[in-house]
Amino acid sequence: MVYILGALFGVMVLRYAWLQLVQGDSLAQRMREQVGSDFAIQSPRGAILDRNGREMAVSVMTKSLYVDPNHVKDPDELAANLAPLINMPEQEILDDINVGGGFVWIKRRMEHDEYEQVRAMIRENEYTDCLGFRDEAKRYYPNDMLAANVIGFVGTDDKGLDGIEQGLDSLLKGEVKEKFLTTDRQNRPILDSIFSSQRSYQGEYCKSVELTLDSSIQFIVEQELDRAMAENNPKGITCVVMDPKTGEILAMASRPSYNPNRFWDYQPEVWKNKAVSFIYEPGSTFKSVVAAAALQEKVVSPNQVFVDPGYVMVSGRRIQNWSGTSFGTVTFTDVVKQSLNTGFAQVGLRLGAHKLTEYAKLFGFGTPTGIELPGEESGLLFNPDDMRDSDTATMSIGQSIAVTPLQLITAMSAIANDGVLLKPHIVKTITNADGSVYEEKGTTEVRRTIESATDKTLVGLLEQVVASGGGKKAAVKGYRIAGKTGTAQKIRPDGTGYMDGRYIASFCGFAPVEDPRVTVLVIIDDPGTGNYYGGQIAAPVAKRIFTQLFRYMHIEPSSDPFAGMNQKAAQAKPKTTATYTGEVPEGKVVVPDFSGKSLREAAQLASERGLSCDPEGSGYAVSQNIPANTLVDKGTSVTVTFQSGG
């Protein structure tokens, strides 16, 4: 009996040793598979928010369906059962199965109702060994097209492909981790185990980004761009709104644009953020920088007198005014107000190529700004050693230089900021998945461009541009606005000269002058209405944007030192001048009748009489502030109002 018990005990020991030492690992794995499975857990991509915490891009978890071809017993039956549930052709499913191997995607990021139907079908037909689901994040843009060119979009495998999604992809992207989860008898993860894994995520990915954009301001801008597209039928429009005291981008938009929820429905060309990737000759808006350089280097003063012959020849190149006519004897203030190319060409030649290029670089042209957006261009500047006089003269009027919209508004914001250039930024705060702050962006001062006293003089000149010069259609009653218009002929794609009748119209300005809160840039590319002057089509768009921003930002009106200036002058003139019919004394001229004249004809007539023509509006002359046949001093400026025919 003892021997029998001993033998049984020995067998038991041997069996135990066999199970523990030989089969232990396989049995442990079998038990593990009975109570759970290894799953790839997807942590959702971080959110993108505006400055007020409003969601602009969020991720939701969805189910993606895969097949294990090695365990498919009847491919035709499986494809026939599955195809109508996921709206796919049977042959496409069969092609996936024929790939072979142990894992092939069938449909990714399914809608919830599709998932429920397929899950029921899998249980009913016992396909659990060959069909399965994995969690994947699906990106959703709740505002559709709003700020699409800034935000960008996400492609397959959670990869950012444009905009902020691309620029900060390494921080925003979700993380995929293999994790053992407790499952039920049908191999479905028990929810508590999924939720606990998501709640406890503390990784280096999935960070949320708060932008400097204000979605309300962005909406205001995009609404006005849509209106301007309808009015002017251009190839495109770009607008940027910046806080000149911080460098924060409050709005950035382009038209045409796209819906990032369905980015594949659009041509790749419209995905681009033209505010950073579009380079163009700025035209007269660049004259703000030229004026800054000239005033700082003391080669000109506001009251310095220029004689405008209507055109100048420089190195064999003809440079003429926008009107094609002479404005006679004018001051530098008039040169800025009326954006006279002849005056700026003379100023640029006085500065010289090296100084002109030096100040362009001081204001940030020729190098990327470093904003947190992909695809930023540097723009183009000549090497001053290679510049001829004609290059210097054309650069002075905004040609022979290429800039981005962001560079231009950054330079104008420096003028608004007492001459101090700031680095523009569009990211405000980056937070970790647990809510703690990863990085907080602030104001970054780059350098001082011009002295404070010079800047104040320049601001005064730019304010008169809007108050009574070429940019007066950007004026908002009760507010002091400074700025500059621009009209630039488009360069041919091959770089050989300019395209006839193809222009870029623009306006860039800031307000209120006494305490600048916003800088606004509007660029209209290739308007299709025949009216292409920046002062005529870009300035009114800026006016509508300014008007709504003042209301939204609760900016109080301020006294306008130029308000009513023309009206007062018109009222005062009759008291000091009289209609004259006798001999004209030396130093005096007789004001002609401008009625019915075109703008070009009026400018030519004024020049012939030794007067300066200050035009308002477009079309044909309907009135003038100094009556015809009035004796006035030579060089007097006559404000002539023009209207288009009905």
The span from the CA of 591 to the CA of 607, in Å, is: 11
Are 276 and 378 in contact by the 8 Å Cβ rule? The answer is no
Q: How confident is the model at residue 628 (pLDDT cuts 50, 70, 90)?
A: confident
Residue 566 has pLDDT above 60, yes or no: no
Residue 158 has pLDDT above 60, yes or no: yes
Q: How confident is the model at residue 29 (pLDDT cuts 50, 70, 90)?
A: low
Residue type for 492, please?
Answer: R
Question: Would you state the pLDDT for residue 379?
Answer: 94
Question: Would you state the pLDDT for residue 63?
Answer: 85
Percent of the chain with pLDDT over 90: 52
Residue 40 has pLDDT above 60, yes or no: no
Residue 436 has pLDDT above 50, yes or no: yes
The span from the CA of 213 to the CA of 427, in Å, is: 8
Question: Would you state the pLDDT for residue 196?
Answer: 45
- For residue 272, the number of C-alpha atoms closer than 13 Å in the C-beta half-sphere is 16
Instruction: Write out the DSSP string of 261-303.
Output: GGGGGS-GGGGS-HHHH--B--GGGGHHHHHHHHHHTTS--TT
For residue 644, how many other CB atoms are within 10 A of its CB? 9
SS (H, E, C) 598-622: EHHHHHHHHHHCCCEEEEEECCEEE
* Residue 232 buriedness (CB in 10 A; 0-12 / 13-18 / 19+): buried
Question: Would you state the pLDDT for residue 25?
Answer: 65
Q: How confident is the model at residue 609 (pLDDT cuts 50, 70, 90)?
A: confident
Instruction: Render pLDDT for 211-258 as a digit per residue (tens, 0 to 9).
Output: 999 999 999 999 999 999 999 999 999 999 999 999 999 999 999 999
Residue 445 has pLDDT above 70, yes or no: yes
What torsion do the CA atoms of 59, 65, 66, 72 make, to the nearest 10 degrees?
Answer: 170
Q: Per the omega criterion (within 30 degrees of 0), is the bond before 374 cis?
A: no
User: 144-180 as b/e, with b when 16 or more CB fall inside 10 Å?
Assistant: ebbbbbbbbbbeeebebbbbbbbbbbebbbbbbeeee
Query: CA separation (Å) from 230 to 226, 236, 237, 593?
Result: 6, 11, 11, 37
For residue 24, how many other CB atoms are within 10 A of its CB? 12
Question: Would you state the pLDDT for residue 571?
Answer: 45
Q: How confident is the model at residue 187 (pLDDT cuts 50, 70, 90)?
A: low
Task: Name beta bridge partners: 211.
Answer: 427
Residue ranges of domains in the chain, CATH in brackets = 38-211 (3.90.1310.10), 216-422+445-552 (3.40.710.10), 565-643 (3.30.10.20)
Instruction: Render pLDDT for 409-429 as a digit per residue (tens, 0 to 9).
Output: 999 999 999 999 999 999 999
Q: Which residues have CB under 8 Å from 235's CB, separation 6+?
A: 525, 526, 528
Q: Which of 92, 70, 71, 68 is nearest to 80 (CA)?
A: 92
Handedness of CA 246, 243, 505, 319 (dihedral sign): negative
Q: Which of 89, 612, 121, 645 is nearest to 321 (CA)?
A: 612
Question: Would you state the pLDDT for residue 569?
Answer: 41
Instruction: Write out the DSSP string of 398-441.
Output: T-S-BB-HHHHHHHHHHHHTTTEEE--B-EEEEE-TTS-EEEE-
Coil, strand, or helix at residue 228? Answer: helix
Are 299 and 347 in contact by the 8 Å Cβ rule? The answer is yes
Encoded tokens for 546: 């300014």
Question: Would you state the pLDDT for residue 159?
Answer: 87
Q: Model's pTM, two decimal places?
A: 0.75
Mean pLDDT, rounded, of the chain: 85
Q: How confident is the model at residue 578 (pLDDT cuts 50, 70, 90)?
A: very low
The span from the CA of 194 to the CA of 187, in Å, is: 13
Encoded tokens for 416: 């608004």
Coil, strand, or helix at residue 136? Answer: strand
Q: How confident is the model at residue 13 (pLDDT cuts 50, 70, 90)?
A: low
Task: Name beta bridge partners: 638.
Answer: 613
The span from the CA of 612 to the CA of 605, in Å, is: 10
Task: Name beta bridge partners: 525.
Answer: 236, 504
Residue 189 has pLDDT above 70, yes or no: no
Question: Would you state the pLDDT for residue 32?
Answer: 56
Q: Which residues have CB under 8 Å from 199's CB, separation 6+?
A: none
Range of lowest pLDDT (168-182, 409-423, 558-572): 558-572
The span from the CA of 607 to the CA of 614, in Å, is: 11
